[in-house]
Amino acid sequence: MRISEDTPSRLALRDRTLWLSAIFLAAAALLGFGVVRDREPGLLVSAGLFVIFALAFLRATDVAFDKVARTCVIRRLDVLRLTRMQLGFDDIIDARVETEPMPDDPAAPSCRLGLMTKSAAVPLTTGYEPSRERYEAMREAVLDAIFVDRRRPAAADPIHMLVKEGRIIDAVSMLRVREGIDLKTARERVKALQNAPDP
C-alpha cells in the first residue's frame, strides 16, 4: 500500500497486485498459443494453473479520505468481487499498523494498515508487506487527516497488539528478536502482559 495523493482536501491510499495477475495471464496465453500451434493438449493444465494464479492475485484497494466531507471510502476488488464501504471520520477511533512476524526473519515483520471503528477493525488490505517505517508514515498521514479537531490516539506497541489478539507465540518471537532476550525471559514478559489489566 502506498500514498497516491496527499493534498489539503484529500488523502488517497492505493494497493495493487494486478501486475502479478497480468504476468500470470500472459503466461497462460503463451501456453494456450502453444497448445494451438504445437497441438500439445498437456499444456492446458499448466495454462489453467496460471489462470488460477492470475485470479488469486486479482486484488486492488483504493482508500480515499475526504478531509472536507470528513468521510473515508474504501473500494476493494478481491478476486472477482467488488466491495465499497464508507465511514465517517467520527466513527474511526484509530489507525493501526497490524504486524505479522515473518517466519524466516521475525526481526522484520510484515505490516498492513487497518482502521479501528467503534464496532470493528477494518483492515485496508488482505496482504501484509515488509517496511514498518513506511506503514508508520502512512498511519501518521491518516491520523493527520482524521484527527484534526480531536485528540490523536497513541501508537500501539506491536507486542501488546499480538498479546491482545491471543497470538502469544508470535509475541514471544517478536519480543525475543526486538529485545535480544532469551526464550524464558520473553515468555515471562508476555505472560505479564497477558495478566496486566487493559489500560
Predicted TM-score (pTM) above 0.75: no
Grid cell in block for residue 139: 498511519
The per-residue pLDDT for 90 is 93
- CA gap 55, 38 in Å, rounded: 26
CATH entry 2.30.30 includes domain 2-17+58-156: no
The per-residue pLDDT for 83 is 93
H and E: helices and strands count for the chain: 6, 8
The per-residue pLDDT for 107 is 61
Type of residue found at 178: R
- CA gap 109, 30 in Å, rounded: 37
In the sheet that holds 81-88, the strands lie side by side as 2-6, 10-16, 59-66, 71-78, 81-88
The per-residue pLDDT for 164 is 83
- Among 99, 198, 96, which residue's Cα sits nearest to residue 152? 96
pLDDT digits (tens, 9 = 90+) for 3-59: 999 999 999 999 987 778 888 888 888 888 877 787 777 778 888 888 888 888 888
The per-residue pLDDT for 13 is 95
The per-residue pLDDT for 180 is 84
The per-residue pLDDT for 156 is 73
The per-residue pLDDT for 155 is 72
Q: List the beta strands (DSSP E) in 46-198.
A: 59-66, 71-78, 81-88, 92-100, 110-117, 121-123
The whole-number mean pLDDT for each consecutive block of 10 residues of the chain, a chain of 199 residues, reads 93 86 87 79 83 86 95 91 94 88 70 90 86 88 92 80 83 82 89 78
- Among 177, 139, 138, 173, which residue's Cα sits nearest to residue 156? 139
